[in-house]
Amino acid sequence: MAKNFIIANWKMSLGHEQTLDLVDQIVQQIQPSDKTEIVVCPSFISLVAVAPKIANSGIKLGAQDCFWHDEGAFTGEVSPLNLKEIGCDYVIVGHSERRGYLNETDAMVRQKVKAALENNLVPIICVGETLEQRQSSSKDFIIMQQVNKALAGIELTAQNQLIIAYEPVWVIGSGQAVEPSEAEHTTQVIRQVLLDYFPLEVINKRIHLLYGGSVNPLNIREFLSQPTIVGALVGGASLEAKIFWQLIKALE
Ligand code: PGA
């Protein structure tokens, strides 16, 4: 059976000490199983300190962003090579908050995806429509365009994996997720686009489709019981060890 993914995106919500406390609690309470891959994505400043804390726990480390070059004169940016070096296996790319607040474009997202894959990081590509785009009935088109632009010319080696998270921008942090059946429709649209790029076997084995946006312990099961959704990218509900634990329990 394919693995489920629960990926915690802690955004800029916690201080460094709070992050370390949360990691300690999570490591004590949560035993990842063969069934579920658990990934925590603290802010950059906490990555180095979190890595040894989770080293023998089975929990994986992810960053919230990366740059598209491995080294050089790029003030303030963070190298995917260095992320790998300190123990990251995953990196979130193109989150709507970066697209929105920092004008991150599809072209930048594509370069980051490429750089992440070259460093054997699993890119977690976020795609999603705004409320305005949804109301103008262009949701599926927007999603297809984002996926196409993120993947143009991208090749996967035998080691590479890829995650695409469908995150409707307007439900992130709202407490109100979309209907699981609607998320499933969108992940099927994404899967359709993937067929233009990769063989079916690669899609089935190495590309994982997630939903994100107000996932909580009460709704996670229904999302993950949809045919093409194998995981959740979780913000708010991953900030307390007890609730995070409930998310994982809900899948058992
Ligand atoms: P949320 O955030 O779970 O708080 O809605 C999800 C995300 O932004 O990835």
Q: Is any atom of ligand 1 closer than 6 Å to the C-beta of 173?
A: yes
Whole-number Å distance, alpha carbon 96 to ligand 1 midpoint, is 10
What ligand 1 atom has the least distance to the C-alpha of 213?
Answer: 5
Q: Is 215 in the pocket of ligand 1 (CB under 6 A)?
A: yes
Contact 39, 59 (CB under 8 A): yes
Identify the structural domains of the chain with CATH numbers, from first to last.
4-249 (3.20.20.70)
Strand, coil or helix: 109:
helix
Instruction: Yes or no: say if 10 and 44 are a contact pair by the CB < 8 Å rule.
Output: no
% helix, strand, coil for the chain, step of 5: 45, 15, 40
pLDDT for the residue 77: 98
* CA pair distance 12, 132, nearest whole angstrom: 26
Expressed in angstroms and rounded, the spacing between residue 245 Cα and the centre of ligand 1 is 17
| Ligand 1 atom nearest residue 236's Cα | 4
Specify whether the backbone of 27 is left (phi greater than 0), alpha (psi in -120 to 50) or beta.
alpha
Verify whether ligand 1 is closer than 6 Å to residue 123 (CB atom).
no
Q: From the CB of 236, is ligand 1 less than 6 Å away? A: yes
Residue nearest to atom 6 of ligand 1 (CA): 235
**Residue pLDDT, tens place only, 59-114:** 999 999 999 999 999 999 999 999 999 999 999 999 999 999 999 999 999 999 99
| Strand 122-127 with 90-93, pairing | parallel
Ligand 1 centroid – CA 104 distance (Å): 18
* Residues identified as active-site: 95, 167
**Among the atoms of ligand 1, which is closest to the Cα of residue 233?**
9
Question: pTM score > 0.75 for this model?
Answer: yes
Query: According to the model, what pLDDT value does residue 252 have?
Result: 81
Instruction: Please spell the DSSP secondary structure of 123-147, one letter per residue.
Output: EEEEE---HHHHHTT-HHHHHHHHH
| Nearest in space to 165 (alpha carbons), one of 239, 229, 84 | 229
Other CB atoms within 10 Å distance of the CB of residue 182: 14
Query: pLDDT tens track of the chain, all 252 residues?
Result: 678 999 999 999 999 999 999 999 999 998 778 889 999 999 999 999 999 999 999 999 999 999 999 999 999 999 999 999 999 999 999 999 999 999 999 999 999 999 999 999 999 999 999 999 999 999 999 999 999 999 999 999 999 999 999 999 999 999 999 999 999 999 999 999 999 999 999 999 999 999 999 999 999 999 999 999 999 999 999 999 999 999 999 988
| Inter-residue contact 183 to 226 (CB < 8 Å) | yes
Q: Are 4 and 39 in contact (CB under 8 A)?
A: no
